[in-house]
Structure 1
């Protein structure tokens, strides 16, 4: 427990030498008082940190979220090291303000799979969280990294090369779960970078912090993690391009199928029109034959008065059905209307021209050759035999 912690134990466990402690220039009692207050307030911070993690988990691009509340001894160690390096805001730290000076008492790590997903996460954080006014989000890069301006423009991000090779984007957001104004640090990084940083932290601290050989291999591991991120982005782009190509091929096949179906429908329509044309040609030919017979009948009727038989009208009607539909006229009905059921020879002869016109109309609508005018039968000009 912090209330039983001695200065000697604290310095030993946290690898703080005497010079660093003296440079911090802070009373041990003041440090313990801060630690005790922090322990009392800790449960509330953990509740808020868990809630904040659930919110961040819902942002587009976030694969998984980790969170922690800073350990009490680590918090006190940070105060000593910051004061030893004359960090300005830590020089006036005390029990009344430490929670607003230390900005990473709550830590949230938002992990994502592909590098470009950091942009969607950035947009969500800026939209839903209140960023600290005095600091811009910080982009940590490894030596040799190139960060495109259109990804993390310098008017919206601060860029800093990390000495250990960490790659991450850090945001400081304001939080006030109760009366106290506290801050939380949100770190956004890929899963590969998270794996490397965790291994680096476990191996480098505390046992091998000065082992040069370990540092060399951790640096190699760091480059491999960066290459894994690049490969992940390349595979993502490759998969997207493949999907787009498959979609284009499916669309082309669908268009080809539709074109073939349209051609089949057109062929069927043409075949139907060809059959209709052939039927109409046959009907018109039969009408010609019937009118020729009618002309002959008219010539004979000149010698005697008579009527067209019902059979004759039925033939006209039957043989003109198809041509009548195509021409939009009922040719048989019109012929009967012109000639009448009974007529005199003179009336039949007078209306032959009307029948010719009717037949030629049917020929035009059925694309057949116009009918030559039916010859008007000559009248019998025999003069009356004079009485002897």
Structure 2
């Protein structure tokens, strides 16, 4: 494979020409490091991506086979493609300020190279759990806390130093994250009067819980959201973010996406009210019928990358 030609294709299709040029001026070895990443991740007799695929399948089956999660709507997984990984490397490098700062979510990508990319980019494996009603987040939250050992750091600052040793058990890598549309939504996620998440207000209308876990030798990001928020995300991804950035109606589409997010919140609130009316005084609904696993496991090629990390 002609790597230079392949890299040009990735950059052009992702509309990263400006970012790529910006990073290339600062890091002369950018092309070489990106090639090393692509080769290690997706080529050779034992590519790293193959191990990620095994981990993703194993975790998904565990989720869908656990009786405690039989009330979820569905779950799916995705493993980043090599093209998506290269694009993310370029974007994250371009977002770095000239001088190092203390925004660890940004600074984690400064030392990114072919030797450590799998230690720094922690969403190569993505799992998405969809719930029908907003209240059901607690069910999934409790399951995750039971399956994974608690986090030792609220926010990891040195991902290379924190990379687990071989044979490490399953654990939460850092404090889970909460993305909501409005600040007054945060109180719905309190546990015993305290917030177990790092909250972020999303101007775009994004609403989800993110858990970064270490599972069977790989990092995996578990996202939990309602079917309403998933529908908004799919629509926005297909009709807004997949459009060329220089499209004439891009800004109008973004405004409509924010309006749709408000309607999505209303739908979730109505579903939540109906849930409380249907099950007054109960913490959770009755278990679903047997056979809940059938038809709910599928690989999601359309599962978009949420560049939130």
Fold equivalence (TM over 0.5): yes
Deviations 1:333-359 (A, max 9, x none): xxxxxxxxxxxxxxxxxxxxxxxxxxx
Question: Does residue 10 of structure 1 match 2:29?
Answer: no
* Partner of residue 114, structure 2: 95
- Shift, 1:114, TM fit: 0.8
Which residue, out of 118, 133, 145, partners 2:137?
118
Deviations 1:303-332 (A, max 9, x none): xxxxxxxxxxxxxxxxxxxxxxxxxxxxxx
Q: Whose helix proportion is higher, 1 or 2?
A: 1
Question: Of 31, 46, 67, which aligns to 2:53?
Answer: 46
Return closer, same or farther for 1:91/1:126 CA change in 2, 3 Å cut-off.
same
Q: Judge conservation of contact 2:20–2:94 (CA < 8 Å) in 1.
A: yes
Residue deviations 1:19-77 (CA, integer Å, cap 9, x gap): 54323625212101101111122222112101101112224342210100011111111
Q: CA deviation at 1:125?
A: 0.3
For 1:231, the equivalent position in structure 2 comes to 270
User: How far did 1:130 drift?
Assistant: 3.9
> Is 1:56–1:62's contact at 8 Å kept on the other side of the alignment?
no
Cα distance, 1:147–1:18 mapped onto 2, change above 3 Å = closer
2:185 match: secondary structure: coil
What TM-score comes out, normalization by structure 1 length?
0.57
1:168 to 205, 208, 215: 208
1:209 Cα deviation from its structure 2 partner: 4.3
Larger RCO: Structure 1 or Structure 2 (Cα < 8 Å, ≥ 6 residues apart)?
Answer: 2
Q: Structure 1: how far apart are the matches of 2:183 and 2:2? A: 43
Which stretch shifts more, 37-46 or 205-214? Answer: 205-214
Flag the 1:123–1:220 CA change in 2: closer, same or farther, 3 A: same
Find out whether 1:192 has 2:202 as its counterpart.
no
Contact 1:131 1:171 in 2 (8 A): no
Tell me what 1:257 maps to: none
3-state SS of 1:67 partner: strand
Partner of 1:142: 181
- Alpha-carbon distance, 1:242 to partner: 11
Take 2:231 and 2:188, find their aligned partners in 1: how far apart are those partners? 27
CA contact (8 A) 1:137 1:158 kept: yes
Moved over 4 A (4+): 1-5, 152-155
Please list every run of 5 or more consecutive structure 1 residues that lacks an aligned counterpart in the other structure.
244-388
- 1:361-376 residue pairs with structure 2 within 5 A? none
Please say if residues 105 and 183 of structure 1, whose CA atoms lie closer than 8 Å, have aligned partners that are also in contact: yes
The alpha carbon displacement at 1:155 in A equals 4.8
Contact 1:167–1:193 (CA under 8 A) maintained in structure 2: yes
Corresponding residue SS for 1:148: helix
TM-superposition CA deviations, 1:137-177 (whole Å, max 9, x none): 00001145422166366552100012311100000001234
Residues of 2 paired with 1:120 and 1:192: CA distance?
18
Distance across 2 between alignment mates of 1:145 and 1:215: 23
**Structure 1 residue 190, shift from structure 2 partner:** 0.4
Q: Which runs of 5+ in 2 are unaligned?
A: 97-105, 157-173, 283-309
| TM-score of the superposed pair, with normalisation by structure 2 | 0.70
Moved more, 200-209 or 232-241: 200-209
Q: Who is 2:125 aligned against?
A: 106
How many residues of Structure 1 are paired with residues of Structure 2 in the alignment?
A: 239
Q: What secondary structure, in the 3-state scheme, does the structure 1 residue paired with 2:72 have?
A: coil
